[in-house]
Amino acid sequence: MTQITLHQVREALQLPPRDPDDVHLHMAPEARRALLTSTANAKPAGVLVLLYPSSDGLRFVLTKRPATLRQHSGQISFPGGRQDPADESLLATALRETCEELGLCDPDIALLGSLTPLYVPPTNFLVYPVVGYLPALPPLQPNPLEVAEVIHVDLDRLLDLALQQREPWTFAGGTFDIPFYAFAGHKVWGATAIMLAELEMRLRAVVGA
């Protein structure tokens, strides 16, 4: 498996913008594809794709939402949320939410770049993913009201095609073919998978995988 370097991540994020339909439809559930670009009156939100080094290379952080939450309960996501009026930018939103969710309020998180904004139909959010880096990840203090579990994933696992799977799922009165990443015993699907798919495509263009 290719071990991705921080330099390659920076290079991948500096590539020219991709067609949103091209990058987003790769891991989009069939039922959502026609809605992904309907951004009228969408609420801005920011999420943080946080990278940090480990003995096995770069990793990123995901969170599992508690089953008690009203929206997206039990799903896997990046730390982040809706922009507050006091937030100076979507980056500030992503950092504030990371502080609130994980107790990680580190001013030294370095911005590496961003991914294409993604419209999320169920919540009417237009999500702006920012990619950050910490040279060392301190102990996290997850807020149990917002985070049921913290999941750490090796970045190079994004390039493992065996971890990209599909299953028929039944919900909302129908059965749908759902693509997902299988990471650490979790099925990462929906908006999080769509954002990861863009990062994957950018990294493949750089590392040649």
Residue 1 maps to a domain? no
* pLDDT band, very low/low/confident/very high, at 123 (cuts 50, 70, 90): confident
* pLDDT band, very low/low/confident/very high, at 113 (cuts 50, 70, 90): very high
Q: Please report the pLDDT score of residue 156 as a whole number.
A: 96
| Percentage of the residues of the chain whose pLDDT score is greater than 90 | 68
Is residue 21 pLDDT above 90, yes or no?
no
Lookup: tokens for 196? 């990861």
Residue 208 maps to a domain? no
Residue 209 maps to a domain? no
What does 76-140 look like in DSSP terms, one character per residue?
EE-SEEEPPTT-SSHHHHHHHHHHHHHS---TTPEEEEE---EEETTTTEEEEEEEEE-SSPPPP
Is residue 70 pLDDT above 80, yes or no?
no
Q: What's the Cα-to-Cα distance from 104 to each of 50, 74, 115, 122, 139, rounded to whole Å?
A: 11, 21, 22, 28, 8
Please tell me the least confidently modeled range out of 30-39, 78-87, 175-184: 30-39
Residue 74 maps to a domain? yes
CATH number at residue 142: 3.90.79.10
195 within 8 A of 78, measured Cβ to Cβ: yes
Residue 189 maps to a domain? yes
Closest CA to 113 of 20, 203, 208: 203
Q: Please report the pLDDT score of residue 1 as a whole number.
A: 63
45 within 8 A of 81, measured Cβ to Cβ: yes
Lookup: tokens for 175? 């059965």
Mean pLDDT, to the nearest integer, of 55-83?
86
Domain with 186 in it: 6-202
Q: What's the Cα-to-Cα distance from 3 to each of 70, 134, 153, 194, rounded to whole Å?
A: 38, 18, 13, 22
Burial of 176 (0-12, 13-18, 19+ CB in 10 A): middle
Sign of the Cα pseudo-torsion (96, 99, 104, 107, in order): positive
Residue 177 maps to a domain? yes
Work out how many domains the chain is built from and give that number: 1
Task: Give the strand pairing for 125-133 and 43-54.
Answer: parallel
Q: What are phi and psi of 196, to 5 degrees?
A: -65, -35
Q: Which residues of 91-105 are buried (b: 16+ CB within 10 A; e: fewer)?
A: bebbbbbbbbbbebe
Q: Please report the pLDDT score of residue 120 as a whole number.
A: 86
Is residue 38 pLDDT above 80, yes or no?
no
Residue 198 maps to a domain? yes
Q: What angle do CA 53, 58, 60 make, to 5 degrees?
A: 100
| Percentage of the residues of the chain whose pLDDT score is greater than 70 | 87
Residue 117 maps to a domain? yes
Mean pLDDT, to the nearest integer, of 56-75?
82
> Any bridge partners for residue 111, and if so which?
132
